[in-house]
Chains A and B, each alone.
Chain A
Amino acid sequence: SAVISQKPSRDICQRGTSLTIQCQVDSQVTMMFWYRQQPGQSLTLIATANQGSEATYESGFVIDKFPISRPNLTFSTLTVSNMSPEDSSIYLCSVGGRAGAYEQYFGPGTRLTVT
C-alpha cells in the first residue's frame, strides 16, 4: 500500500480566491486521482492525473476551475480557482494500487470552507 499526505489539511478561504492542494506519495505511482466529497455525500471524481500528460477531467469539471499539475510520479497539485461557497468540500487525492488490482489508497483529505 502507499502512504499519502495532503497539504493543507484544512483551510478557510474567501470567495474569489484560489487554493492549491498538494498531494505527496511515498512511492512512484502511475495514476493519481482527485475527488471531491461534499458534506455527507459520496465521492465525485474530478480528474485523473497522469505524469507527463494533461489531466483527464470528468463531466462537470473543467481545467480552468480545477487546474492540476503532475510534475513527477510522487506528487500532484489541485488548484481550486475563483472559489465560491459551493466549493466548500473535502478534497481527496488517491493513487491506484499495483497494475490490474484497481484498489485505491487515499490521502487524509483537505477540508475547504469558502466564506
Chain B
Amino acid sequence: GNSVTQMEGPVTLSEEAFLTINCTYTATGYPSLFWYVQYPGEGLQLLLKATKADDKGSNKGFEATYRKETTSFHLEKGSVQVSDSAVYFCAPTTGNQFYFGTGTSLTVIP
C-alpha cells in the first residue's frame, strides 16, 4: 500500500529564511503528489501539486518537484514570511487512495 514520510516538526524559522520540508513516499502505481496547508483554525487548502515525474508544482512562492527516482516531493520556499506559519501536509494520491503525512508545523518569527 501507499505510505508517506514527512519531516517532523515543529520548525521555527526567522522571516526571510529558506524553508525545506522533506517528503518521501511509497506507492503502488503512479501517484499524483500534493502539498496542502492548514492555517490555524481552518481546514486544509491545496497549496500545489505535480502529476508526473519532473513536474514542478508552485504557488505563493512555494515549489516542489516530483522526483520519481527518489520518490520524493520536498517543499521549498526561498524566503518565508510570518504569514506562512501553518501546518503543511504532503499527500501522495493514487486513484481513490489518499494518504496524508503527519504534518509539519512551521512557525515564522519576525
Knowing A103-B46, A103-B49, the reply to whether A33 touches B98 (Cβ < 8 A) is yes
* B42 (CB) vs chain A CBs: closest residue: A108
Contacts of B100 in A (CB 8 A): 42-43
Assess whether B66 is interfacial by the CB under 8 Å rule: no
Which residue in B42, B46, B101, B102 is a CB contact (below 8 Å) of A105?
A: B46
Which residue in B32, B44, B49 is a CB contact (below 8 Å) of A92?
A: B44
Contacts of A101 in B (CB 8 A): 32, 51
* B10 (CB) vs chain A CBs: closest residue: A40
Assess whether B61 is interfacial by the CB under 8 Å rule: no
Q: Count A-side interface residues using an 8 Å CB cutoff.
A: 20
Contact, CB under 8 Å: B89 / A45: no
* A1 (CB) vs chain B CBs: closest residue: B46
How many angstroms from the CA of A45 to the CA of B32 in the assembled complex?
18
Knowing A42-B89, A42-B103, A43-B89, the reply to whether A106 touches B44 (Cβ < 8 A) is yes
A-B interface pairs (CB < 8 A), number: 44
Contacts of A31 in B (CB 8 A): 96
Contact, CB under 8 Å: B43 / A92: yes
How many angstroms from the CA of A38 to the CA of B98 in the assembled complex?
17
* B32 (CB) vs chain A CBs: closest residue: A102
How many angstroms from the CA of A92 to the CA of B98 in the assembled complex?
14
Contact, CB under 8 Å: B98 / A45: yes
Contact, CB under 8 Å: B43 / A108: yes
Assess whether A51 is interfacial by the CB under 8 Å rule: no
How many angstroms from the CA of A108 to the CA of B101 in the assembled complex?
19
25 cross-chain CB contacts under 8 A = A1-B46, A33-B98, A41-B102, A41-B103, A42-B89, A42-B100, A42-B102, A43-B44, A45-B98, A48-B96, A101-B51, A102-B34, A102-B93, A102-B95, A103-B32, A103-B49, A103-B93, A104-B46, A104-B98, A105-B46, A106-B36, A106-B43, A108-B42, A108-B43, A109-B42
Interface residues of B (CB under 8 A from A): 32, 34, 36, 42-46, 49, 51, 89, 93, 95-96, 98, 100-103
